[in-house]
Amino acid sequence: MTLSAALRIIAGLIAMAAATGSLFAFFRQRDRARLDAALLMAAMALALFAVDPTFPLWLFISGSVSLFATPYLLLRLIDRTLVRVPRAAAWIALGSAATSAFVQFSDVISGAVGSGWNR
C-alpha cells in the first residue's frame, strides 16, 4: 500500500466519523441546521470514499454526484446558520449539481463510460 492510498483511507475514515457524529447530533436535536450539517458531512464522506475509478460504477457515480452537490449543501448550511445566501447563488449551485448529475447519468446511459469498468 502506498502512502497516498493510506492517507486517502485515513481521510475517508475521518470524514465518515464526522458524518456519523453530525448524524447523531441531528438525532439528538432535530433542527434544520443539524440536518444540513449531517447532509454536508455525509456528502463529503461519500465523495472522499467513492470517487475512485477502481470501485464499481454505481459507487463512483454516487460519489461524483455527492461531490457536485457539496457546494449547494454548504450554501444551505451557511444560509441556515451564519448569513443569508442570495437565492440566485443557491439556485446556481443547485443547478450545477443537477447538471453534473445529469451528465454523469447520461454518460452511463449513452455508453460513454468504458466497457472495462468494474461493475
Q: Which pLDDT does position 50 carry in this prediction?
A: 82
Q: Once rounded to an integer, what is the mean pLDDT over residues 104-117?
A: 67
Q: Once rounded to an integer, what is the mean pLDDT over residues 71-76?
A: 93
Q: Which pLDDT does position 7 carry in this prediction?
A: 87
Q: Which of 4, 102, 101, 103 is nearest to 62 (CA)?
A: 101
Q: Which residue has the higher pLDDT, 8 or 45?
A: 45
Phi, psi of 86 (to 5 degrees): -60, 140
What distance in Å separates the CA atoms of residue 76 and residue 80, rounded to the nearest whole number?
Answer: 6
Asked if the model's pLDDT at residue 115 lies above 70, the reply is: no
What distance in Å separates the CA atoms of residue 81 and residue 100, rounded to the nearest whole number?
Answer: 27
The SS3 call for residue 94 is helix
Beta strands (DSSP E) in the chain are: none
CA 94 to the chain's CA centroid: 13
Task: Tell me what the pLDDT averaged over the chain comes to.
Answer: 86
Q: What DSSP letter does each residue of 24-57 carry, written as one string?
A: HHHHHS--HHHHHHHHHHHHHHHHHHH--TTS-H
What distance in Å separates the CA atoms of residue 28 and residue 22, rounded to the nearest whole number?
Answer: 10
